[in-house]
């Protein structure tokens, strides 16, 4: 059970549950982006499905709770890379690996980067991203 910065080790790995993406999901998400961007902006070549994948992958990462009760990201996200398209009825899951652990010199916490990779049902990597979290140190 991971709860503190001190519970994490470099190379530690996580794995999420799976998420099936339906044709309806993809259409709804694209439609919503279209609406949110206001009436004067028809949907253009924006890779909406890329942001859809990003949102689903972040949700799967949050659900994996690699930091126990602490939030998964606090500073931002680095290196979003879309590697292959996500098609209707694909099912994705993500795996994460701790790639940076930097204890703060001044506060009882540390910075943690986990590189997550999303795979489809054929095991093909479709997307990666690296959120940057701040995790408290174990109280003395």
**Residue 63 contacts a copy of itself per CB under 8 A:** yes
Binding mask 117-136 for a copy of itself (x = CB under 8 A): --------------------
For a copy of itself, which is the closer residue by CB, 59 or 87?
A: 59
- CA dist 126 → 25, 41, 66, 82, 114 (Å): 17, 28, 21, 6, 17
Rg of the chain on CA atoms, in Å? 17
Q: Give the Cα separation of 58 and 50 in Å (integer).
A: 12
Q: Which stretch binds a copy of itself (CB under 8 A): 6-14, 31-39, 99-107, 109-117?
A: 31-39
Q: Give the Cα separation of 126 and 85 in Å (integer).
A: 6
Interface residues with a copy of itself (CB under 8 A) are 19-20, 25, 28-29, 32-33, 35-38, 41, 44-47, 51-52, 54-56, 58-60, 62-63, 71, 73, 75-82
């Amino acid at each position: 059970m991971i709860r503190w910065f001190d519970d994490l080790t470099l190379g530690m790995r996580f794995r999420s549950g799976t998420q099936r993406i339906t044709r309806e999901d993809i259409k709804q998400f694209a439609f919503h982006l279209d609406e949110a961007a206001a009436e004067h902006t028809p949907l253009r070549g924006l890779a909406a499905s890329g942001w859809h994948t990003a949102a689903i992958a972040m949700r799967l990462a949050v659900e994996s709770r690699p930091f126990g009760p602490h939030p998964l990201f606090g500073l931002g996200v680095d290196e979003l890379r879309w590697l292959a398209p996500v098609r209707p009825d694909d099912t994705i899951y993500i795996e994460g690996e701790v790639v940076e652990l930097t204890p703060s010199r001044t506060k009882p916490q540390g910075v943690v980067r986990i590189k997550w990779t999303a795979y489809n049902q054929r095991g093909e990597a479709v997307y990666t991203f690296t959120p940057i979290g701040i995790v408290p140190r174990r109280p003395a």
